[in-house]
Amino acid sequence: MKIRFALLLSFSLATAAQADESAAEIWTAKCKSCHGPDGKAQTQMGKKESIVDMSQAAWQQAESDAEIREVIAEGSTRNKKMKAYKDKLTPQQIDSLVAYIRTLKKG
Q: Decide: 34 and 46 in contact? Cβ < 8 Å.
A: yes
Q: Among 21, 24, 40, 52, which residue interacts with ligand HEC (rule: CB under 6 A)?
A: 52
Q: How far is the CB of 25 from ligand HEC (least distance, A)?
A: 11
Q: Decide: 55 and 40 in contact? Cβ < 8 Å.
A: yes
Q: Among 79, 90, 92, 103, which residue interacts with ligand HEC (rule: CB under 6 A)?
A: 79
State yes or no: residue 76 binds ligand HEC (CB under 6 A): yes
State yes or no: residue 71 binds ligand HEC (CB under 6 A): yes
Residues 6 or more apart whose Cβ sits within 8 Å of residue 98: 65, 68, 69, 72
State yes or no: residue 104 binds ligand HEC (CB under 6 A): no
Q: Which of 98, 44, 53, 107 is nearest to 72 (CA)?
A: 98
Q: Among 36, 55, 96, 97, which residue interacts with ligand HEC (rule: CB under 6 A)?
A: 97
